Amino acid sequence: MADESAEIFDDLYLGVRAGGALRKQRRGEPLTTEEQEALGRWQRLSPWRKGFAIGAFGVGTFGLGFTLGGLIFGRWRKA
Instruction: Identify the pLDDT of residue 15.
Output: 87
Q: Rounded to whole angstroms, how far apart are CA atoms 13 and 18?
A: 9
Q: Which of 49, 24, 44, 27 is nearest to 35 (CA)?
A: 24
| Contact predicate 53/8, CB 8 Å | yes
Is the Cβ–Cβ distance between 15 and 57 less than 8 Å? yes
Q: Is the pTM of this model over 0.75?
A: no
Q: pLDDT digit string (tens) for 47-73?
A: 898 888 888 888 888 888 878 777 777
CB 1 within 8 A of CB 46: no
CA distance 47 to 41: 12
Domain boundaries, the chain: 2-53
